[in-house]
Amino acid sequence: MSQQDNSGISRRQLVGGLVGSMAVTAVAGHANAASSTPQTQTTEPGPHPLTGKDPRNAYPKPPFEYQTQEPPGLASKMNPRPDHGEQSYKGSGRLAGRKALITGGDSGIGRAAAIAFAREGADVAINYLPVEEPDAREVIALIEAAGRKAVAIPGDITDEAFCQKLVNDAAAQLGGLDILVNNAARQRNVESINDLSTEFFDKTFKTNVYAMFWITKAAMAHLKPGAAIINTASVQAHKPDANLLDYASTKAAIVAFSKSLAKQLAEKGIRVNAVAPGPFWTPLQPSCGKKKEKFEQFGAESPYGRPGQPAEIAPLYVTLAAAETSYSSGQVFCADGGAGTF
């Protein structure tokens, strides 16, 4: 899939080098144990607690204790609890004065992005389902502890009218909008296409694709030159699992949507990029109907031998939202523990 330019450097090498350099400039974090306790930020953050340590051993490895939850699941009920950077992320003002809306901001990657954005100086609105309120309350407290405005807007994004209201309410309460993160997703394991009903298939597309379309369309009334849109795709878009037919299809759609929209919005000075996570330790895992043996060995197939923690991908969202990456648009940035999926 690699394309060569005249210098003989592949696109994959260029993207890999860019992500590597971004990682150096990003001041971010992830500790071995997560905590929901709000942490105030120091003005001069020190070295990351994992600096110089082997990333293969930085976080829990399988086997994991088998556990299940009713969808959509709560991070607070997982064992071990995911690390969203609650204790470790230290900001440096990269998003000072910005206004962000993040869907699925109560847990997982959305929660990690919300914490990081706030500690980088942004005011943040998060959307989530009402049943996820316990996790959402923790995020709101963490945003406020960072000295930023926090806006909680629960609701179901499979409803177009709510999506329009969500964007308008977020912009009104934040005093504007210049970062949009379409992150909320539905994932369920279904072994056979014969067991995948039209209603089920439709619900996945409504959550993962239609909502992104509706929310982004509504946001156009508020986004100005310099704004950034970040959509959460997945390695499933490129290497789909057999039991995630509907989910993988939506993630491939998100990649194409992001690349097409980036070209469309270039003339408006608005950047659009996608992030493609590999296996990450989030509430999707205990709530998606994963088989016992698959759950216990989740992430073992990664070259690192473990799943990623949300705190490990939040710096990508910060970097893509920051002004320093003004020439990056229409790209997919992958974090998959060394598998090199994209």
**Distance (Å, whole) CA 37 – CA 30:** 14
> Can 66 be counted among the known catalytic residues?
no
Whether the upstream peptide bond of residue 80 has omega within 30° of 0, thus cis, is: yes
State how far the alpha carbon of 297 is from the alpha carbons of 243, 284, 285, 300, in Å. Answer: 16, 15, 11, 5
> Pick from 156, 58, 65, 43: which is nearest to 104 by CA?
156
3-state helix, strand, coil in the chain (%, to 5): 40, 10, 50
Q: Which residues on neighbouring strands pair with residue 277, listed in sequence order?
A: 335
Q: DSSP letter string over 218-257? A: HHTTT--TT-EEEEE--GGGTS--TT-HHHHHHHHHHHHH
Give me the sheet containing 271-277, strands edge to edge: 150-154, 123-128, 99-103, 179-182, 228-232, 271-277, 332-335
- Are residues 58 and 50 in contact, defined by beta-carbon separation less than 8 angstroms? yes
Of 247, 304, 317, 327, the active-site residue reads 247
- Are residues 48 and 87 in contact, defined by beta-carbon separation less than 8 angstroms? no
- Are residues 306 and 298 in contact, defined by beta-carbon separation less than 8 angstroms? no
- Are residues 336 and 316 in contact, defined by beta-carbon separation less than 8 angstroms? no
Question: Dmax over Cα atoms in the chain, in whole Å?
Answer: 57
Residues annotated catalytic, as ranges: 247
